[in-house]
Amino acid sequence: MIWEDIMKTVAKALLGAVSMLAVTVAAPAMAEPKAEVLHYWTSGGEAKAVQALQEAFKARGGTWVDAPVAGGGGDAQAAVLRARVLAGDPPAAVQIKGPNIQEWAEAGALGDLNAVAEAQNWDKVLPETIQNIVKYDGQYVAVPVNVHRVDWIWANPEVLAKVGADVPTTWDEFNETAEKLKAAGIIPLAHGGQPWQDATVFETVVLGVGGIDFYQKALVDLDMEALGSDTMVKVFDQMRKMRGYVDPDFPGRDWNLATAMVMRGEAAMQIMGDWAKGEFAAAGLEPGKDYICASTPSDGGYLLNSDSFAMFNVSGDDNVEGQALLAELILGTDFQETFNLYKGSIPARTDVPRGEFDACAIKSMDDMVSAAEGGTLMGSMAHEIAQAGAIRGAFIDVVTAHFNSDMSSTEATEKLVKSIKLAM
């Protein structure tokens, strides 16, 4: 946690004792609203989604300064953000989420959005799970833009049909289907060999092979017994199998290029969050016809990832006006529909009409409600909801080291316990 401590200390010093600036509702603009927006949405579907926000902002007279940092999963952007804050030059709006929002708020870096939240009744339209992510000390310090689900299989039905298979509903079926595909010379699993992607697959295996209670104990509670258990050894056994289902060119591949392999029928399946659906949508492909979405095998689990924009304390009326306008636009019902149709996610607001959303989105909406009611709604570790910073880094380092070596499951499990202990 050393880096986080340095960041907090320096950020506090740089930002001084600045109390959270109240980002007021977009009153009649005294200044032309302006916003520099730091994000990492650069793939096909992502870019269309962020373009929708840019256009809505400009339509209201806003000047948008785009600050994209390519790199799925956001680790590259996080480094840029830290550098910008430490240089005393934070962007006005930044796509961050989960514990990172809490850490930046604790460092006094974020403005509070209560005025716009009250004007738009956020307490009424946001699920409690989402409120807990974007509030710090009871104040709204970020505006949520969506709910992504992580535990999805994206499958090409024509490729599966070549071996007479359907989308697997258990991990045993997954392995049987993958072995049949491999025997037929077909790539079972399209995968990008980047640490955050390895961690994405890992957490769906923890959820399904370990079970939901195990996921809670190991990845959320950081229970050392669970982390070092035989169940974790079994999870790494399955990860070893998954390694055998990817093609030789997987190292370093971007996630959306893996999605394209499924689209083109070069591979049968991808395990990825539903930002992958944004790629299918951008290619004009239909769920249920051109591709199939199915939750990865688990007992009613749902791995939640939610993107938000946090408004950093910046000076200048134009910037403060821009932040208020962005916050107002992002949670507007029309924008919530437009953005999430492009992004592959579902609205953060619960009152957006479902009419335009496809079967995959409807499944996500329904599954999220039943998971919340059944206590099986889990925050994603790989995507910085359940964990962030050094602890998430410790998980990812061990998982990717295991995936890219012949490390045994027992050794990986032992390394995981040691690394998490060190990171706490």
Task: Return d(Cα 128, Cα 408) in angstroms, integer.
Answer: 40
Residue from 154, 275, 309, 335 touching ligand GAL (CB under 6 A): that is: 275
Is residue 72 a contact point for ligand GAL (CB under 6 A)?
yes
- Residues ≥6 apart with Cβ < 8 Å to 219: 203, 206, 378, 381, 386, 387, 395
| x-marked contacts with ligand GAL along 276-315 as a string, rule CB under 6 A | -----------------------------x-x--------
> In the complex with ligand GAL, which residue's Cβ is closer, 43 or 376?
43
| x-marked contacts with ligand GAL along 33-52 as a string, rule CB under 6 A | -------xx----x------
Provide the residue type at 54 as one letter.
Q
Closest approach of Cβ 242 to ligand GAL, in Å?
19
Sign of CA dihedral 322, 326, 328, 333: positive
| x-marked contacts with ligand GAL along 378-397 as a string, rule CB under 6 A | -----x--------------
Residue from 45, 73, 192, 228 touching ligand GAL (CB under 6 A): that is: 73
Residues touching ligand GAL: how many (CB under 6 A)?
Answer: 12
Residue with tokens 């032992």: 414
b/e map 7-20, b = 16+ CB within 10 Å: bbeebeebbeeeeb
Closest approach of Cβ 275 to ligand GAL, in Å?
4
Q: Which listed range, 70-78, 133-141, 292-300, 407-415, lies at the site for ligand GAL (CB under 6 A)? A: 70-78
Task: Return d(Cα 391, Cα 312) in angstroms, integer.
Answer: 24
| x-marked contacts with ligand GAL along 200-239 as a string, rule CB under 6 A | ----------------------------------------
Task: Return d(Cα 204, Cα 208) in angstroms, integer.
Answer: 6
**Which residue sits closest to ligand GAL, CB atoms considered?**
72
- H/E segment holding residue 37: strand 34-39
| C-alpha pair distances (Å), 298 with each of 138, 168, 227, 339 | 34, 11, 19, 29
- H/E segment holding residue 347: none
Closest approach of Cβ 415 to ligand GAL, in Å?
24
Residues that bind ligand GAL (CB under 6 A): 40-41, 46, 72-74, 148, 255, 275, 305, 307, 383
